[in-house]
Structure 1
Amino acid sequence: MTLKGARERRVRAGGVDLCVVELGDPGQPTVVLVHGYPDSKEVWSEVASRLADRFHVVLYDVRGHGRSSAPLPLRGGFTLEKLTDDFLAVANAVSPGRPVHLVGHDWGSVQGWEFVTVRRTQGRIASFTSMSGPSLDHFGHWIGQRVKRPTPRRVGQLLGQGAKSWYVYLLHTPRLPELAWRGPLGRRWPRLLERLEKVPRGDYPTASLPDDAAHGAWLYRDNVRARLSRPRADAYAHAPVQLVTPEDDAYLSQRLYDELESWAPQLTRRVLPAGHWVPRTRPDRVSAWIEEFVTAVEGGRPEQRPTGRYSDRFGGQLVLVTGAGSGIGRATAFAFAEAGARVVAVDRDTESAVRTAELARLVGAPEAWSETADVSDEQAMEKLAEKVHTELGVVDVLVNNAGIGLSGGFFDTTSDDWRKVLDVNLWGVIHGCRLFGRQMSERGQGGHIVNIASAAAYQPSRALPAYSTSKAAVLMLSACLRAELAGQDIGVTAICPGLVNTNITTTARFTGVDAEEEARRQQRTARLYGRRNYPPEKVADAILRAVARDEAVVPVTPEARGAHLLSRFSPMVLRALARIKPPV
């Protein structure tokens, strides 16, 4: 393994020699990373390098994998009992007398559930982070409950997981897996991972893959049928557990973990919009969650778990919101804060941005910052993007919310009026997407961009030619960008509110009238929106839901949804309504 500062040793356990690699200061808390199938310890290289500055990081090749020797005979050599012996041997060698923090992925997580629920490891494990691998005992009970009480929903869950587990049946066949892995499958596996799971090339997988996969077939043969048919009744976790669930896991249903609290009372749930191999595709987020969890456990305090909706999805993520000083922007910053996200509140009004950040910390954000920037100023946005990237890292969710209102007929709207509304409403979105979206793209670990458009984007109005044009452009920009970034797991959503009670009504400009008439129309519009009284908090809820579900276009208010429906199925009606002269 080509990790800076890596130290290799051999540990003898149960007749096999285990290859163990250590990084970081041995005086710090020890984090043991256990790989899955058909992997070797190199699957953890990106995560390990990120944790090594803070912890004593230990990786080892499971018996029969990588540079660890294989048991002889292979049959019966990969039972969970023997794998537990290996883990204890490694833990005693690298952290004698001090419990370790266990992290497992795939079959490393299956093993981890065994380690954290058997009595002989009690006191040796301080915490367990599970990724993409259930306890076979919990899985067995999950199947049993659905067989005993076969409701349509439960039968559907069984059939769904049964379809996802197609490869398990093949791995139980004699000789076929070994022939496939040492033949064409072993040669093509790296390319398959890259194409299907979007796993980037690097030091993984290693040249030992064909033998690793052939030996690892015995993990399934020695354990799966026996445990699923006769699951342990005492498989309770004796340490805090953090569950990281990839939403797009092709092999495991999220429903497998529905009753997990009954087996792991000290449970923290996390959700990632990613596929199965998150140690390779999402090392930043995985590392951050491991660090947060281990630090909380080491501090002797329960982790401060956010209580907001979608907290398992956005906890710890970095979210930047423009126009966050008031209205929809402030409500959105608060909603992400309540979900445990770290929030950057951006507004051209410094005092309002500072206030939003202060309140965001009070409602749940572990960290919140304020930044002053005019989104229409390209240089200011470039400086903002560079500062955020240098000091905080890459933004996980960007919300381009800043906008201004402008009302008036086309011939009453001057060239300066057009420039102002397009500079903020369109160019402000373009700057945000270009600068922060590029950082997401270069990181290669996904992300999400939210652009606040409007129902005016698809509902023409004789009174809003400039505003509607700017928002229609934002809607089309979002659709184009969503298509371009889809292959990089970067979602793009256009949010289209209707009449929302915010202060944009009091700051919107009206062209073609004097100052006194403009003030009267602003007050009248504010009263109209006030009577409608659709709160910005509902728009914020829609934004979080849209990001969690990766929705493309989200009309929010009832009138916005109705107009969107008409724009698709009866645009003539909208064009007729647009001809009606609005009251003054």
Structure 2
Amino acid sequence: MTLTGARERRVRTGGVELCVAELGDPEQPTVVLVHGYPDSKEVWSEVAGRLAGRFHVVSYDVRGHGRSTAPEPLRGGFTLEKLTDDFLAVVDTVSPDRPVHLVGHDWGSVQSWEFVTVKRTEGRIASFTSMSGPSLDHFGHWIKQRVSRPTPRRVGQLLGQGAKSWYVYLLHTPVLPELAWRGPLGRRWPGILRRMEKVPGDDYPTPSLPADAAHGAWLYRDNIRSRLRHPRADARAHAPVQLITPVEDVFLSPRLYDDLERWAPGAIRRTLPAGHWIPRTRPDQLADWITEFVTSVEDERPVPVASGRHADRFGGQLVLVTGAGSGIGRAAACAFGEAGARVVAVDRDTESAVRTAELARLSGARRAWAETADVSDERSMEKLAERVGEAYGVVDVLVNNAGIGLSGSFFATTTDDWREVLDVNLWGVIHGCRLFGRLMAERGQGGHIVNIASAAAYQPSKALPAYSTSKAAVLMLSECLRAELAGQGIGVSAVCPGFVHTNITSTARFVGVDAAEEQRRRGRATRWYGLRGYPPEKVAAAILRAVVRDQAVVHITPEARGARLLSRFAPGALRAIARLDPPL
């Protein structure tokens, strides 16, 4: 099985024959993809296809894997020195006159760290993107530092990584790994990847897996012990480095890269909420980051990496915020912009949406766009989803923020009043989740949905029957959707603010009173919220944290947290408070 549409050639080196696949225009910059264990080059098929429109993309089966031949004998045939010989033979064939941009995953990254730090490859590598595979030299120094100067934290890090590396010990045992891979483990591995890593079950892994895994055990046996015991002191990168760390990796701790600046000054760091096999589970994001990094190096300009909090998490991601024209929506759009995201600011007021997009760009957004839509109108939201999908791609983070306020007794609230508040506060969230959430699920690469509810969702009030009902429905919808989408890597968070100083008080409707009294109550509510002084920027920061931590429900402001505690442990007291007249 080969990468679809790839041109194949054979490269002979060191007694083996390597199968090399090429996509794209050879006149463009060359990107070389190096696979890990127990993979073959087909692990890159999704990423390679996305890169081929911009670059000359090359991937090859490492010796003993896929359609490349294995060395004879196996012992001693997989040393880093010989793998470096293979790499140079490949790049001298596919790009003899220009340095290449190197990308490695797992053991492909381990050996690529060797390529980018040894003298004989200087000038042949323009940049290096590493994912899920540390340098063995850096790892050796990391271990020595923690053994020679132990602290409780360092010992904990050693023990934690030691537990994650259980498979390394097994691969050093004689014969057993080969028997397991050629037997039951090889047959069950595709199912294990689907269940544990959510890897799509399409054309991967390939039928060569049992042999690849059996041969690849020598990658560990030929290199691990010798390099960890005697790491090189000069293992510094001679090309720009981009590090992509999947934070849910069950095999490698992110702490392994604590000393990265020592070995790769100025390295660019990215994180993904994903497991180990990100070339299969997150190809869109990887292709975007590789493209951005390679293009910046080729153009000899700084990589556009935001410096805001969580920039390593949201840099380059597509974030859509409804109700972005003011208040919490505008603050959230700017906060994601500061973190380097691409932002779509949506509001029914076009001028307000345009202003928010401008502010998001000033905050640091890679790009920001304004879109006009009425979240209560299903057709308007469908058109929005079509425009966004065609122009910007699939949304990574959706913030359903648009909402309106309505105050007044139940019997003073008309059917039309109920319809209006439910259409915006509830149906607007439903439309967003249905349209953009479906696209996330169909893409199969995860994502996150944030629904802005309210402390009113669990804090009853005789003055807010319609508003509180709409927000309680949003909270329950979020909980139900979170359960449904958990298996698809899509998180759902309900954010429940208390009294936040936004313009919702100046636009809220007060039913059952005349126009003059309504205006008076708006002014009084605005003053009360202003005196409370809780800014929307704090809510925006909590939204970003909720996504990073995949929090189910977030209670913002002390009064929101207090009401939540009362609802659980003293509901009677909360009901007594609900009977009080609001200070209007």
TM-score clears 0.5: yes
Corresponding residue number in structure 1 for 2:329 = 329
1:402 aligns with 2:402: yes
Q: Distance in 1 between matches of 2:486 and 2:389?
A: 22
Corresponding residue number in structure 1 for 2:50 = 50
Q: Distance in 2 between matches of 1:467 and 1:2?
A: 57
Corresponding residue number in structure 1 for 2:452 = 452
Q: Distance in 2 between matches of 1:8 and 1:579?
A: 76
**Which SS does the other structure have where 1:411 is aligned?**
coil
Corresponding residue number in structure 2 for 1:87 = 87
Corresponding residue number in structure 2 for 1:351 = 351
State the TM-score, normalized to the length of structure 2.
0.99
Tell whether the 8 Å contact from 1:239 to 1:266 is kept in structure 2 after alignment: no
Following superposition, the deviation at residue 186 of structure 1 comes to 0.7
Tell whether the 8 Å contact from 2:3 to 2:42 is kept in structure 1 after alignment: no
Q: Distance in 1 between matches of 2:568 and 2:292?
A: 46
Equivalent position amino acid for 1:421 in 2: V
Tell whether the 8 Å contact from 1:321 to 1:344 is kept in structure 2 after alignment: yes
Corresponding residue number in structure 2 for 1:74 = 74
Corresponding residue number in structure 2 for 1:218 = 218
Q: Distance in 1 between matches of 2:123 and 2:567?
A: 63
Corresponding residue number in structure 2 for 1:182 = 182
Equivalent position amino acid for 2:472 in 1: A
Equivalent position amino acid for 1:378 in 2: E
Q: Distance in 2 between matches of 1:149 and 1:205?
A: 42
**Which SS does the other structure have where 1:70 is aligned?**
coil
Where in structure 2 are the equivalents of 1:373-392 lying within 5 Å? 373-392=373-392
Q: Distance in 2 between matches of 1:17 and 1:500?
A: 66
Tell whether the 8 Å contact from 1:426 to 1:470 is kept in structure 2 after alignment: yes
Q: Distance in 1 between matches of 2:99 and 2:203?
A: 30
Tell whether the 8 Å contact from 2:501 to 2:533 is kept in structure 1 after alignment: yes
Following superposition, the deviation at residue 583 of structure 1 comes to 2.5
Q: Distance in 2 between matches of 1:121 and 1:343?
A: 40
Corresponding residue number in structure 2 for 1:439 = 439
Equivalent position amino acid for 1:36 in 2: G
Structure 1 stretch displaced more, 149-158 or 372-381 = 149-158
Corresponding residue number in structure 2 for 1:500 = 500
Corresponding residue number in structure 2 for 1:203 = 203
Superposed CA deviations along residues 64-86 of structure 1, whole A, max 9, x for unmatched, are: 00111111111110000100010
Superposed CA deviations along residues 1-41 of structure 1, whole A, max 9, x for unmatched, are: 44443110011111111000000000000000000000000
Corresponding residue number in structure 1 for 2:156 = 156
Tell whether the 8 Å contact from 1:455 to 1:563 is kept in structure 2 after alignment: yes
Work out the percentage of aligned pairs sharing the same amino acid. Answer: 81
**Which SS does the other structure have where 2:116 is aligned?**
helix
Superposed CA deviations along residues 271-296 of structure 1, whole A, max 9, x for unmatched, are: 11111000001111111111011011
1:558 aligns with 2:564: no
Superposed CA deviations along residues 515-547 of structure 1, whole A, max 9, x for unmatched, are: 000000000000001111100000000000000
Following superposition, the deviation at residue 305 of structure 1 comes to 1.3
Equivalent position amino acid for 1:148 in 2: S
Instruction: Provide the alpha-carbon RMSD of the alignment.
Output: 0.8
Moved runs in structure 1, 4+ residues, more than 6 A? none
Corresponding residue number in structure 2 for 1:290 = 290
Q: Distance in 2 between matches of 1:33 and 1:202?
A: 20
Corresponding residue number in structure 1 for 2:339 = 339
Corresponding residue number in structure 2 for 1:304 = 304
Q: Distance in 2 between matches of 1:50 and 1:305?
A: 21
Superposed CA deviations along residues 398-425 of structure 1, whole A, max 9, x for unmatched, are: 0000000011111111111111000000
Tell whether the 8 Å contact from 1:5 to 1:24 is kept in structure 2 after alignment: no
Following superposition, the deviation at residue 150 of structure 1 comes to 1.3
Paired positions, count: 584
Runs of at least 5 residues in structure 2 that lack an aligned partner in the other structure = none
Q: Distance in 1 between matches of 2:538 and 2:117?
A: 43
Q: Distance in 2 between matches of 1:203 and 1:421?
A: 48
Structure 1 stretch displaced more, 427-436 or 385-394 = 385-394
Following superposition, the deviation at residue 312 of structure 1 comes to 0.4
Following superposition, the deviation at residue 561 of structure 1 comes to 1.1
Tell whether the 8 Å contact from 2:3 to 2:21 is kept in structure 1 after alignment: no
Equivalent position amino acid for 1:114 in 2: E
Tell whether the 8 Å contact from 1:318 to 1:343 is kept in structure 2 after alignment: yes
1:193 aligns with 2:193: yes
Equivalent position amino acid for 2:378 in 1: E
Tell whether the 8 Å contact from 1:340 to 1:365 is kept in structure 2 after alignment: yes
**Which SS does the other structure have where 1:53 is aligned?**
coil
Equivalent position amino acid for 1:143 in 2: I
Equivalent position amino acid for 1:177 in 2: P
Q: Distance in 2 between matches of 1:197 and 1:505?
A: 46
State the TM-score, normalized to the length of structure 1.
0.99
Tell whether the 8 Å contact from 1:446 to 1:490 is kept in structure 2 after alignment: yes
Superposed CA deviations along residues 280-331 of structure 1, whole A, max 9, x for unmatched, are: 0111111111101101111101102101100000000000000000000000
Q: Distance in 1 between matches of 2:23 and 2:410?
A: 66
Q: Distance in 2 between matches of 1:203 and 1:427?
A: 39
Equivalent position amino acid for 2:560 in 1: A
Following superposition, the deviation at residue 390 of structure 1 comes to 1.2
Equivalent position amino acid for 2:347 in 1: D
Following superposition, the deviation at residue 266 of structure 1 comes to 2.5
**Which SS does the other structure have where 1:492 is aligned?**
strand
Tell whether the 8 Å contact from 2:345 to 2:356 is kept in structure 1 after alignment: yes
